[in-house]
C-alpha cells in the first residue's frame, strides 16, 4: 500500500518540484559568471580551431586584420561569417552588402528559436539586463545555458559568463589564424567540423525528460532531414525545430 501510495504521489511530487523551479525567479551573481565560463570549457578547443580557420580564410579573402577582429568581435557568429566569406568578393557593392546581410540572417535564423526558448527562464528579468546578454547568443552559449536551466538552475549569469568566455576566445584566437594562415591545420582532420553535432549530442542526453517529451524531438529530426534534402543552406534546423516543437505542444502532459 505504501508502495502504491508512493507510486501515485511520485508524479505529483515531480510536478511540484518542476513547478517550483519554474516559479523560482532568475537572478544574477558573480559566481555564476565564473561557473558559466567553466561550463563552456568543453567547447573552447573547437572554438579555437574554428576561429583560427576563419582567420586564415578572412586573410585569403583580403580582409585587413582590423576588419577580421572587428567582425569576430561584433558579429560573433562563426557559421554565418564563413558563409559570408563565400560571397565576399573584391570591391563590395551595395547589392553585395545587402545579400551578405540577408544570408547572415538566414544562417542565424536558428537564434530566433534559441532565444525564444530562453523566455520562460529569463522572462522575469528586466529587459535592459536580458537583451545585452542575448547579443552573446551562439550555439555554444545557448546549449550551455539551456542545459544548466534544464537541470533546475535559474542564475542568468551562467548565460552571460559562457557568452563572454566564448566571445573573448573567439576574438583573440582569430589573430594567430590570420597571421599564420599556413600553419593552421585542416579542422576536419581532428573532427572539429563535427563539433556542433557532437556537442549537441552530449547535451541532448542531459535534456532527456522521458519518451513522451521526445516525440516532438523525433518529429524535429525527421522533418529536418527531409528539409535538408529539399532546401539549401541551414533552413533544416529552423523548419525541423518549429514543426517538432509544435508537435510537442499538442502532446498533453
Q: Note whether 196 binds another protein by CB under 8 A.
A: yes
Using CB under 8 A, which of 9, 17, 93, 129 touches another protein?
Answer: 93
User: 30 or 229, CB closer to another protein?
Assistant: 229
Using CB under 8 A, which of 19, 92, 168, 185 touches another protein?
Answer: 92
CB-based contact 177:65 (threshold 8 Å)? no
Q: Which of residues 155-194 bind another protein (CB under 8 A)?
A: 188-194
Kindly write out the interface string for residues 103-132 of this chain, putting x where it contacts another protein by CB under 8 A and - elsewhere: -xx--xxxxxxxxxxxxx-xx------xx-
The Cα–Cα gap between 253 and 247 comes to 12
The Cα–Cα gap between 40 and 148 comes to 11
Contacts of 79 (CB under 8 A, 6+ apart): 107, 108, 139, 234
Tally Cβ neighbours within 10 Å of residue 147: 18
Hey, what's the cell of 210? 522521458
The Cα–Cα gap between 154 and 12 comes to 22
Q: How far is the CB of 184 from another protein (least distance, A)?
A: 16
Compute the C-alpha angle 148/128/42, nearest 5°.
25
CB-based contact 144:43 (threshold 8 Å)? yes
Q: How far is the CB of 33 from another protein (least distance, A)?
A: 20
Q: Which of residues 202-241 bind another protein (CB under 8 A)?
A: 202-209, 213-214, 216-225, 227-228, 236-241
User: 33 or 223, CB closer to another protein?
Assistant: 223
Q: How far is the CB of 11 from another protein (least distance, A)?
A: 16
User: What is the separation of C-alpha 118 from the centre of its chain, rounded to a whole number of angstroms?
Assistant: 11
Q: Which of residues 1-40 bind another protein (CB under 8 A)?
A: none
Q: Which of residues 40-59 bind another protein (CB under 8 A)?
A: 41-43, 46
User: 77 or 171, CB closer to another protein?
Assistant: 77
Amino acid at each position: 500500500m505504501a508502495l502504491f501510495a508512493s507510486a501515485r504521489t511520485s508524479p505529483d511530487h515531480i510536478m511540484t518540484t518542476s513547478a517550483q523551479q519554474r516559479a523560482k525567479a532568475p537572478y544574477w551573481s558573480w559566481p555564476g559568471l565564473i561557473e558559466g565560463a567553466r561550463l563552456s570549457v568543453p567547447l573552447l578547443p573547437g572554438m579555437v580551431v574554428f576561429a583560427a580557420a576563419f582567420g586564415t580564410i578572412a586573410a585569403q579573402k583580403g580582409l585587413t586584420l582590423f576588419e577580421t577582429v572587428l567582425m569576430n568581435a561584433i558579429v560573433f557568429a562563426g557559421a554565418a561569417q564563413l558563409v559570408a566569406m563565400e560571397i565576399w568578393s573584391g570591391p563590395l557593392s551595395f547589392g553585395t552588402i545587402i545579400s551578405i546581410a540577408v544570408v547572415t540572417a538566414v544562417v542565424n535564423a536558428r537564434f530566433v528559436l534559441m532565444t525564444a526558448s530562453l523566455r520562460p527562464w529569463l522572462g522575469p528579468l528586466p529587459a535592459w539586463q536580458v537583451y545585452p546578454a542575448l547579443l552573446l547568443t551562439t550555439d555554444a552559449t545557448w546549449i550551455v545555458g539551456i542545459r544548466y536551466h534544464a537541470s533546475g538552475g535559474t542564475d542568468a549569469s551562467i548565460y552571460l559568463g559562457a557568452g563572454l568566455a566564448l566571445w573573448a576566445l573567439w576574438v583573440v584566437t582569430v589573430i594567430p589564424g590570420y597571421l599564420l594562415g599556413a600553419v593552421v591545420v585542416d579542422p576536419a582532420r581532428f573532427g572539429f567540423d563535427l563539433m556542433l553535432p557532437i556537442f549537441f549530442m552530449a547535451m541532448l542526453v542531459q535534456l532527456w525528460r522521458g519518451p513522451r517529451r521526445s516525440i516532438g524531438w523525433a518529429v524535429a529530426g525527421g522533418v529536418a532531414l527531409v528539409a535538408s534534402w529539399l532546401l539549401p543552406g541551414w533552413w533544416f534546423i529552423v523548419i525541423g525545430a518549429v514543426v517538432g516543437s509544435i508537435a510537442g505542444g499538442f502532446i498533453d502532459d
